[in-house]
């Protein structure tokens, strides 16, 4: 009589009747021929006397890619657990190793439910050394790429950061992975700011990276060969030059001759002055559109100047005026700005009690500009509203030589209601050094 059995092949059960005496014979009677790599339970040599179910796992070809050795092998096995498949392929997986199926990680000890041929990707744990800006760290990873390894250990990269290995490539254990952090930079060029990150060692390399070129006379601050600035600012200066030719006048000079038969203040022009003419070649430099310098490179004189000759009177003529409470004889009237001072009110931090001639500062002492002092030293001047004073001191007033300073004691100065007088006419009384024609600079 035939024996009825349940045969389960790769999880699919079927009912069969057989007259065979062994498991192998029963399977052969229904057309299942076993290969050395198939799995049978009970064993194929077992008697059918006590058997009611036969389970068969047929072997199949599985490809195994080993990331560690970069090799692909094919194994014939009925195993469905990844760890068993790897052992069949001669790979002994360890803790932390990763197996992927179709790019997705699968557990090493969990059976696969996959039909047909497939490929397993095996990634062993490796020790990765990372040098980040001089700080060295070591960690284990089974990531498939450098970028994934950094990510899983919390190392994020920013734009411009540099890696010694490819971000998307597999890990190269021959060399330590070097991460160089990029520095943030702002480059000002052509009227706009460009924000970027860079690891380049010099300014020139950063400019090349962002596509900014220096041409002709252009330059950068800092210079191209300088290291990156601490403040992260780089300025590109665009430079151009123009060469112009322009006509310029050559001013004539005036030669003065003294005629002692003419009164002081009278003049007579003997020769009229005429400006000369020249062509000047000028180089103009512009930086970022603004003129920064002009330099004369060449001059060609087209016409020499003709100097003027003027005769001035040297004869002092006395005139009389009542300007200082009494009639006074004066030689020349001049218009000045008059200010007031005293020993402790002279514009100095100290109280200066003596004049340039060593006399006490008080009412009746006058100070004039150093340009006038050699001519007017010890000269009497009638100042309306003040009286007659003697020039014994020097000072200055806003670069104006037509100025006198009216001296007072500190007590007299404190009682003044007005200290400055503009366009005041004063009268020079003399005496004057011999040969003076009262031409004041």
**248 with 280: CB under 8 angstroms?**
yes
Helices (H), 52-142: 82-88
Give the span between the Cα atoms of 341 and 427, in whole angstroms. Answer: 20
What pLDDT digit, counting tens, does each position of 220-257 carry? Answer: 999 999 999 999 999 999 999 999 998 999 999 999 88
Cβ neighbours for 152, distance < 8 A, ≥ 6 positions apart: 141, 143
Kindly report the average pLDDT of the chain as a whole number. 90
Residue boundaries of the structural domains of the chain: 3-57, 60-123, 126-180, 183-237, 242-313, 316-430
Burial (CB < 10 A; 0-12, 13-18, 19+), residue 207, is: buried
Segment 41-60 mean pLDDT: 90
Q: Are strands 327-330 and 319-322 parallel, antiparallel or unpaired?
A: antiparallel
Segment 88-105 mean pLDDT: 90
Looking at 3.40.630, 3.10.20, 3.40.50, 3.40.1130, the CATH number of the domain 183-237 comes to 3.10.20
Tokens of 320: 């009389």
How far is residue 311 from each of residues 85, 261, 268, 318, measured CA to CA in Å?
123, 11, 5, 21
Q: Say if 60-123 and 183-237 have the same CATH topology.
A: yes
Q: For the whole prediction, is pTM greater than 0.75?
A: no
Domain 242-313 is classified in which CATH homologous superfamily? Resuscitation-promoting factor rpfb. (2.20.230.10)
Give the span between the Cα atoms of 203 and 209, in whole angstroms. Answer: 10
Domain spanning 60-123: which CATH class is it, in words?
alpha beta
Q: Yes or no: is domain 316-430 CATH 1.25.40? A: no
Segment 340-347 mean pLDDT: 93
What pLDDT digit, counting tens, does each position of 368-398 carry? Answer: 999 999 999 999 999 999 999 999 999 999 9
Domain spanning 126-180: which CATH class is it, in words?
alpha beta
Q: Are strands 60-66 and 119-123 parallel, antiparallel or unpaired?
A: parallel
Q: Output the DSSP codes for 233-295.
A: EEEEE-EEEEEEEEEEEE---EEEEEEEEEETT-EEEEE--B-EEEEEEEEEEEETTEEEEEE
Segment 264-290 mean pLDDT: 93
Residue entry with tokens 């010694």: 164
Residue entry with tokens 């009389």: 320
Nearest of 308, 307, 303 to residue 248 by alpha carbon: 303
What pLDDT digit, counting tens, does each position of 154-212 carry? Answer: 888 877 788 888 888 888 777 788 888 888 999 999 999 999 988 888 999 999 988 99
Strand partners, 282: 244, 296
Q: Is the pLDDT of residue 1 over 70?
A: no
């Amino acid at each position: 009589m035939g024996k009825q059995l349940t045969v389960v092949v790769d999880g699919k059960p079927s009912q069969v009747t057989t007259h065979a005496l062994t498991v192998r014979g029963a399977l052969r009677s229904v057309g299942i021929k076993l290969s050395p790599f198939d799995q049978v339970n009970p064993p194929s040599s077992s008697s059918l006397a006590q058997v009611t179910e036969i389970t068969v796992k047929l072997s199949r070809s599985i490809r195994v890619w080993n990331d560690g050795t970069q090799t692909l092998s094919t194994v014939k096995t009925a195993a469905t657990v990844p760890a068993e498949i790897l052992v069949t392929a001669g790979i002994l997986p360890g803790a932390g190793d990763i197996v992927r199926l179709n790019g997705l990680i699968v557990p090493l000890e969990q059976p696969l439910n996959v039909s047909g041929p497939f490929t397993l990707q095996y990634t062993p744990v490796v020790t990765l050394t990372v040098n980040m800006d001089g700080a060295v760290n070591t960690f284990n990873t089974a990531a498939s790429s450098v970028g994934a390894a950094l990510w899983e250990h919390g190392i994020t990269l920013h734009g411009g950061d540099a890696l010694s290995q490819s971000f998307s490539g597999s890990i190269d254990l021959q060399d330590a992975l070097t991460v160089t952090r990029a520095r943030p930079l702002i480059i000002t060029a052509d009227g706009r700011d460009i924000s970027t990150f860079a690891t380049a060692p010099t300014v020139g390399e950063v400019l090349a990276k962002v596509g900014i070129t220096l041409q002709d006379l252009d330059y950068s601050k800092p210079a191209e060969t300088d290291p990156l600035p601490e403040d992260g600012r780089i300025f590109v200066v665009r430079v151009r030059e123009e060469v112009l030719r322009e006509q310029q006048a050559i001013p004539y000079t005036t030669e003065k001759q003294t005629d002692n038969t003419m009164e002081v203040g009278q003049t007579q022009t003997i020769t009229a002055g005429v400006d000369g003419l020249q062509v000047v070649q000028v180089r103009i430099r512009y930086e970022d559109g603004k003129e920064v310098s002009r330099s004369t490179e060449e001059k060609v004189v087209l016409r020499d100047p003709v100097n003027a000759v003027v005769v001035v009177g040297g004869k002092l003529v006395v005139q009389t005026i009542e300007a200082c409470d009494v009639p006074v004889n004066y030689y020349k009237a001049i218009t000045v700005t008059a200010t007031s001072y005293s020993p402790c009110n002279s514009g100095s931090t100290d109280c200066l009690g003596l004049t340039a001639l060593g006399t006490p500062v008080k009412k009746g002492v006058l100070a004039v500009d150093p340009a006038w002092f050699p001519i007017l030293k010890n000269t009497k001047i009638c100042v309306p509203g003040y009286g007659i004073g003697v020039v014994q001191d020097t000072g200055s007033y806003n670069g104006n030589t037509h100025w006198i300073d009216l001296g007072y004691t500190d007590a007299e100065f404190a009682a003044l209601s007005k200290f400055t007088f503009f366009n005041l006419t004063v009268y020079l009384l003399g005496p004057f050094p011999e040969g003076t024609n009262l031409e004041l600079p």
